[in-house]
Structure 1
Amino acid sequence: MEEKKYIFISRKIEDAIRRNEFGGKLPGLGRLAEIYESNPRTVSKALRLLEEKGKVTVNGTRGTYVSGINQRPRFRVIGLIGMRSTPGYRNQLETIQNIAAKEHYRVIALSDSSDLDGLLRENSEFLVNFPADGFIFAYSSITENIAATLRGAGIPFVAMNYVPDIPGVNWAAFSSERGLERILKELTALGHRRIALVEFNNHNYGYSEKMYRLYRDFLSSLNSFDERYYYSHYTMQEHYMKHGENSYREFAREIVEYIAALKTRPSAVIFMNAGNSTIINAYELFRMTGIRSPEDISITGDFDMRDKCEISGLLYDYSLRASEAAKIMMKLLKYPDTPLIQKTLVQKWHPGRTVRSVNHCEKNIVERKRK
């Protein structure tokens, strides 16, 4: 009997909305219960039914609002864009799925591929027509055009990376620029001046250009900048298409060969956004070529917390980032009028065993040459 009544009440409320009896905001549960001669519990079920149909938006203690004329239906689905199919990324996907499931949402992941990237760039309306209530974007997959299209359609979205140059983007991310500055300060405090920076080329949001400028300006202020110590020749996708599953090891091999061939080698090398496997492989390959770390060269960078090992550097807890992005999405779905949320997460420094003072490295190299 109660089930039939809440359906009946939902139809009555929908008729009242159509006649514009409530304006933009519905009366409270108590008042609606009086109007329809029922109880708050039954009225609440009726409102949830209307919310699923996209007729109203229930904003918790703030009240229930009439949805816009062009309001999309509720699918109880979140679209995840740009996630790659590797173990580390699957952990992030599971984190998002667990948080979404608590609010009865499912997650559909559209993997990162050149086909998807091209489709979104050519037709941003694809996402407007996709059966999802909101989108989470991973790994620089959001563009200014996509952001503008989703905002115009009233569809909430969150980026899992730092997006300072696109207006109106909610994000939860680590700042690579702050991370690089932190590492440079750690190394220069130990006396290092000949510092190499290695990264995959990434033109999204001018990322590589910003990292290069920060690196150049920081070392130039110490009269220590050397163009030869900067290596960023390929995008991650270009390198993967060329080398496949061996991409990270091949990139590490290129770096080691390049640095080993320099007449004056750097005393430290930073791997930024180059992948966990790159920095670990480089560490091993340096040793195979007779360049030991930290005895001959300090190795550091940024990497996923899963692969702490003995490398010194900044730890990125990507599951934390995924969790924060999912929480922001849940809030946006529940409270559409939520102000912009931009959360910068802090990396932790892991001392490891691959960084030492420059005096120690230089002394070790001199002693080895004498032998």
Structure 2
Amino acid sequence: MPDTKHISIAERLKMRIMAGCYSVKLPPVRELSKEFNVSSRTMTKTFHALTEAGIILPSARGTFIAPEFNPITARRLVAIIFPGPPITPLAEDKCFNALCSYINGIGAQLLLCGTSTDQHQDWISALNDARVEGFIFLYSSITTEIAQMLNQRRIPYVSCNWHPENSDIIWVDFDWESTLNQLAEQLIRRRIKRIAVIQSSQQDEFKKMLYSAWNRVCRRNSITDYGDGGENFDGFFEHDAPPQAIIALHPQKLADLTERYRQSGRKFLTIAYGKIGEADSLGFVGRDWLLLAENVWNMLTLQWKRQLSSAERTRRLKPLIRIIFDFDMLT
């Protein structure tokens, strides 16, 4: 007698998907196997059945829900906001391209806008009237006043890689701990284990978060922890065993440090987070842009999921990606 257990499980999973129980991706096979109390083999057959039905889309980054079966994200119109015309050409903007790539894969609609922070009430209202259902703010395009307005109106939004000081906003940053760990592993392979970090942010909460991440990297890799660095990095070299390398998370920090200690005759390797022209520095770009885009989208879907009532959990048609390059549309 053929085993048909996976068919009933596939139907249950389909009902969950259509009810909005999952945001963008299904949990891993192993996790769902435990939840449904079946073997991994049965759950794998379930995934195959859902794939053949066009409900899920397997990929190297996980098992995505097909846009037309996802009541949370399908047909959403999302605005990506720049602070005026982009300084970096869009073709070279890794953050923007990662967001476009990820959102294109989800099947939502995309509206690109360049705005100013002045008269924000007018352009937010205009976009909201145009059925924009979510905002992604890049760089310095969001302010405390804009965030307050969006919070009051309960309009889903997320700020990407930007956090105004002393503000209560929804934001997503890069995976700093993974990046710092990659840097540390590269240095350890070069037999460098005395490493210090200089931070560039003036925001206390961000400093605490970044130092906590670096502290965990130090413990994981048995690296000497020189403290949180900050502005006063002279203390690094008052240590019994001064650092062999310093990670500077801002180009200017690296330039200042390199000049000061080059004059003093101290020898150490300086590492910048990005491209630096100094001959004695190691350029390193470790930002996982697609992961950042995924985290940004997940933050939006979490807000949509909270808003979604049972009456709205219906099947929707798959939309086409729509990018509008119009920086004067709101003027």
Same fold (TM over 0.5): no
| Structure with the higher helix share, 1 or 2 | 1
Q: Which has the larger radius of gyration?
A: 1
